[in-house]
Structure 1
């Protein structure tokens, strides 16, 4: 095993160990919020006050919504293909969506597709290309050097594991969420948030990704300790939030965080969640 492969294996082992530790027990085992009643109350408030209301979990071709650090963006296919959503393409799209806006992400994804195409032939071309070619294709999305290297490493790892550039087996609903999550986070550059986004928006499963908006709102609601971090917060909330509410609650929290006047621009304006908290604590 080469030094690079050993390093990748050690990194994956560490991530999987942390994931397994928190699969049954929260990283905050003495923290008992949110209660089921709280999650249902907040879900109802957001459904009544968020543009678009409560969404339903789904998996539709070319409408694979993923979550970036600050916005919800689409893992789009710029070719108009109507095939079953490509899981590996969705993972790459979610990597591209990290730490950028929805608009910049879409530009980067379409530029990457224009440069290399889509599907397994495109993945092969990306692996064989100079990393600078990928970097130039996605530079409008930010952090292009890091993301280009991550994409190439991901593709090589998938090919080494499965003999082809293909993760479509994860569409099999007989594969438990935990197993699908384990496979996704085993790849370098794919953390719990990215994996949860792919599970929800590509595979149509219930998972609760914690992005910037969700983390801020759940801390405001007192659902995680003040000292928490996003990764541990996601592990805690995955265990505390009822499965049937995870997808809708995530989507509405992101939309709320982006549009609520009371949560943006210094918090000047009404916020139904803050009003509920004031009434609840009075």
Structure 2
């Protein structure tokens, strides 16, 4: 081997030795490996320990200002839980929604819904499913992922039902759902907040844009880091209302909408004007 060849090999080995390896993740699918950044939002270590916004008082103030303008958004009313209730029965709207989507009967057995979805997994063509969900966009990609998730559930659990998630701690639910290809952090957070009635704070485009503009997240934060930071900073009892209000406000407010072009008619001056940087 030439001197040049030996030098090249030594450099390559040195680079390899400097890499941080995670052998416990070797068995994980690619989408789970990419989420190695994702620590549990409920952990004691803050992602941005020197960035102290939003404060609990700011969260309450913004929630109250948006509520005064919009009221609670009717489109999310069916998912809203009683904040004073200590427990939630299996007949909560979120539970019913999970069952209807997952094909579970009230008893958790193989009801009619489960049989229908079994047939869908094995018999339905992707085009049929694509047509049913086309209005949401990315129908081809989503149809493939839905079929894959249902197929995986049937193979692993013997039936198409996700009620088993309900009795799991939040962090275990996240770990379980991240095993399904196509379920990203936002989708998982939405399932937790809306359907499983857990205290979580999804970050969609509206939430990310508004919280960034009012200085609640560091300028350099991406959506994944914004999700972690906001879940650590926003009090649990305000997460649901704030999230729904941010989404609705982002659709109505000219100042807060993408490109200042709201999807819906503005309802009045932006109540967050005092928070905006410019």
TM-score by length of structure 1 reads 0.69
Equivalent residue number for residue 98 of structure 2: 86
Q: Distance in 1 between matches of 2:134 and 2:244?
A: 27
Equivalent residue number for residue 241 of structure 1: 234
- The 8 Å contact of residues 209 and 256 in structure 2, kept in 1 or not, is answered as no
- The 8 Å contact of residues 73 and 248 in structure 2, kept in 1 or not, is answered as no
Larger radius of gyration: 2
Equivalent residue number for residue 248 of structure 2: 255
Cα gap change, 1:214 to 1:154, in 2 (>3 Å): same
Q: Distance in 2 between matches of 1:15 and 1:124?
A: 31
Q: Which runs of 5+ in 2 are unaligned?
A: 1-24, 83-87, 104-111
What are the Cα deviations for residues 149-178 of structure 1, in whole angstroms up to 9, with x where unaligned?
101111122223322211112233xx2222
Equivalent residue number for residue 228 of structure 1: 221
Count of paired positions: 229
- The 8 Å contact of residues 29 and 179 in structure 2, kept in 1 or not, is answered as no
Q: Distance in 2 between matches of 1:150 and 1:8?
A: 20
- The 8 Å contact of residues 57 and 247 in structure 1, kept in 2 or not, is answered as no
Question: Is 1:270 matched with 2:264?
Answer: no
Q: Match of 2:201, SS?
A: coil
Q: Distance in 2 between matches of 1:137 and 1:151?
A: 12
Question: Is 1:35 matched with 2:33?
Answer: no
Structure 1 window deviating more from structure 2 (152-161 vs 18-27): it is 18-27
Q: Match of 1:223, SS?
A: coil
Q: Match of 1:127, SS?
A: helix
Q: Match of 1:209, SS?
A: coil
What are the Cα deviations for residues 6-40 of structure 1, in whole angstroms up to 9, with x where unaligned?
99942253156333365523443432221222212
State the 1:126 CA deviation. 2.3
What are the Cα deviations for residues 42-75 of structure 1, in whole angstroms up to 9, with x where unaligned?
11211222233797436896955xxxxxxxxxxx
Q: Which runs of 5+ in 1 are unaligned?
A: 1-5, 65-82, 92-117
Match of 1:164 among 145, 151, 159: 159
